[in-house]
Amino acid sequence: MGFTPLAGTRAPVRVWADPYAIEPQAAKQLRNIGALPWVQGVAVMPDVHFGKGATVGSVIAMRQAVSPAAVGVDIGCGMSAVRTSLIAADLPDDLAGLRSAIEATIPVGFAQRQEAVNPRRVRGLEQAGWDDFWSRFASLDRRVAQLETRAQRQLGTLGGGNHFIEVCLEQGGADEGRVWLMLHSGSRNIGKELAERHIGVARKLPHNTDLPDRDLAVFLAGTPEMDAYRRDLWWAQEYARRNRAVMLALLCGVVREHFPQVGYDEPISCHHNYVSEESYDGVEVLVTRKGAIRAGRGDLGIIPGSMGTGSYIVRGRGNPAAYCSASHGAGRRMSRAQAKRTFSTDDLAAQTAGVECRKDAGVVDEIPGAYKDITEVMAQQEDLVEVVAHLKQVVCVKG
């Protein structure tokens, strides 16, 4: 399907979803965004839902401005995946031991490492740029200066919420049963701290006084505030990318210990909360993707479902109407609080049958029923991406 324009906005707001199915709060946010004078256009992904300031599942192109709330607080959050040489028949019937080994190697939830990861001791991890990367910490916002040790110890850790590590099997096609490794994580606490500080600064700037939603406050090009945000933003996006790279390398090591014969293809990695400098119709814009991936022509990306429904490896079609973007997942259809009120641990066990994962009250808010139908989400963006592989998880690790 193509897009539907959202009526009543100054800038074009193009929707790759049923506009009548968008929750009223999210629709109001989209109209608020479309009214901002700096906005060139907005592309709304099929996983759209209400968020802080900007909706999750929105792609916003701005001229000479950027809104930190349109990026989100988990700067650089995204996905990584790698296809292995293993097939389903190589895996044991009981996957509890593999899940335990993953959880013993990669801290989850609020946990951090006792000592920072030494990249030189991680097999398969890129070695370039680490010294330069950490040397730039000293130039970040001075209010996070005391967090360097924490940032180092959280590198290579998963976090909680909807972050996960999975072992998946490819569904259908010539590679039916091929084993994939996948994970979802971001910039951990350091990205959140940087984002919240800059959102606070933006809210107090005079040009943001009359906005319909102060959480949509922007920085303007050529100002010290914009320069400071971009400096911290680029660093946090790199932190998130390196965080996933460390975890994926460690995950590959765990699997190698269990299956010494394993081989790995080139990994796929993509942000879905980030800013990029791009050009459309000759206009230079800053594109913020909050819950959306870049889907330029030929770009490989990852669109996960929930912890019981599977995921997709996709190739972008480069649709400029969507600013070359696609959804970042299934998207929530109910809040975490509502999910906890609606579902029980018995529901969780039923909806995750066949998946080696937590089935306790602590992850009921991540139950598949709290998310939109991933197959419908994929059908709504056939003009944005083509499916390369359909995956179904057999192991899911959550914080």
The answer to whether 330 is annotated as binding is yes
Determine whether the annotation assigns residue 207 to a binding site. no
Q: What is the 3-state composition of the chain as percent helix, strand, coil, each rounded to the nearest 5?
A: 35, 25, 35
164 is in an annotated binding site: yes
Handedness of CA 282, 286, 62, 185 (dihedral sign): positive
Torsion from C-alpha of 341, 347, 352, 358, nearest 10 degrees: 60
Task: Find out whether 272 is annotated in a ligand binding site.
Answer: yes
Contact between 75 and 159 (Cβ < 8 Å): no
What DSSP assignment string belongs to 248-309? HHHHHHHHHHH-TT--B---EEEESEEEEEEEETTEEEEEEEESEEE--TT-EEEEE--TTT
Catalytic residue, candidates 49, 198, 271, 328: 328
Cα separation of 311 and 79, whole Å? 11
Q: Binding site annotation covers 24?
A: no
Q: What H or E segment, with its residue span, contains residue 44? A: strand 39-49
- Judge whether 368 and 135 are in contact, CB under 8 Å: no
162 is in an annotated binding site: yes
306 assigned ligand-binding residue: yes
Is residue 271 annotated as a catalytic residue, yes or no? no
Is 85 labeled as ligand-binding? no
Does 222 count as an annotated binding residue? no
Please check if 273 is assigned to a binding site.
yes
Ligand-binding annotation for 219, yes or no, is no
How far is residue 189's CA from residue 153's CA, in Å, rounded to a whole number? 11
398 assigned ligand-binding residue: yes
Cα–Cα–Cα angle for 241, 243, 246, nearest 5°?
Answer: 110
- The answer to whether the annotation marks 62 as part of a ligand binding site is no
Binding residues for Mn(2+) are: 74, 163, 184, 272
Binding residues are: 74, 162-166, 184, 272-273, 304-307, 311, 328-331, 398
The catalytic site residues sit at 328
Binding residues for GMP are: 162-166, 272-273, 304-307, 311, 328-331, 398
